[in-house]
Structure 1
């Protein structure tokens, strides 16, 4: 039995139309069809680099493609984030960074990217708690005593941070404003000399990300853990309260790290990446690696991560403007 040619042509056109509509969906489900690159905004060899490489290993199997790590360090993470912002929005280039290039750097000067328009948060990976530690230059046994000393003698408590406009500096400004005290800011350009001078009693207080090396000095009694910037107390320091518990929620900040993509990556690809990252973070060896380096795994939805970034950016903008903070 044969059909009229007009019906055959109509059938063929309908089939072609359906195929055209299905093509974009097929292209999306085919991702990834080649290796995926993670740009790490920090040098090789550090904790952030190690975590990114661990994630890359865990993602390679589920994605069915190699996941390659590339380090683009410099300018407090902004060089790496700029590389992500300028990458093709196809899901084959993502970045691993702290959120500071999105929530601090934009309020300190002109950037080659717009965090709100050029970057898409994919997943929160971890937070690195910030320890406030007293040195031998202070007799304060807890954070309340340190604040009392600062109130009694304005400017007498010297607070060392990793630099002007650093997270520690923002915490200092929040405390000065909220607790009505005055500290003397001692900015450093890195953590190494800061720890050396802390052990030598060159100032009363320092704020620094927790690390195994730092914790050794605390356990040895060379530094006194007075408070921590973190959502909850640390397992390693269960008796040390968070700044939030002490009544200073605005200063209760922590270094948050996550995966980011260029704006415009198809939503199904972003959803797949978020799901696989969350699965990786739930694995015992990944959690053990993070906790062992004094970091705390996070995870969660991209929407929640985006809201956290927006809230912290607005909070930082206010305190940076009020305090007149300038970048180094």
Structure 2
């Protein structure tokens, strides 16, 4: 148990001091309990809503909190990760708070997913990689600015995604409000995940002081974002095709320009494992649910694997 008393270097306003690993574990456990108690309180106070409703509220609250803290860290305090001088540095107290809160949330959320068996292999992989990345950053005691910006950038679009799900649950499907929320999510996701995320990766890879493990983690995180966005583009193509003009056949029967109207549920083509990563073919029912789940973290909490799975109740 000697590793529990090992120390990591934490900086705050230029001064460095040690933090015991055991104390970090206690903080992460407290964060997990905080999210669990919030979920339990929501379940008790709003029993008429199903469990997923409460879990999504917790997801949105977590995303709002860590995004605000990351914005404070990057733009107000000035820990801008695009500059080489701010990379591979010990994390600050604020950044440690961001990491422990997010790590505690992901532990809660992956436990929820395993208990209710709602997610496929890819989303569980996403959560596992998020947990490993945050835990590794806390244990190494460095790369604070980069990880804080990554967490904030991937979580800032999550509340918009949850808003779309809540609107759909309340019957706003097909409205201008829903379309506006979807467009907002598509644009913000592309800007944060692909444009700014790509710029951060370029800066990180051109820094000779960055380590191989950090570069590998950056590639994995960015790769997940690219796959998510590809799924979102498939969703947009599906929506566009559904709005194609109606053609009247010679027998007077109206047909869709691309295909006859068929129930989405009959077009689900989930892979045997139920994950989206197992098949390049995305079913209409799966694509229609892509914007309903955030990963997370990364993004984004539960979007990707639902493109190939219809196990959740919608």
TM norm. shorter chain > 0.5: no
| TM superposition score normalised by structure 1 | 0.26
Q: Tell me: higher relative CO, structure 1 or 2? Use CA pairs within 8 A at least 6 residues apart.
A: 1
Larger-Rg structure: 1
Answer 1 or 2: which has greater strand percent: 1
| TM superposition score normalised by structure 2 | 0.27
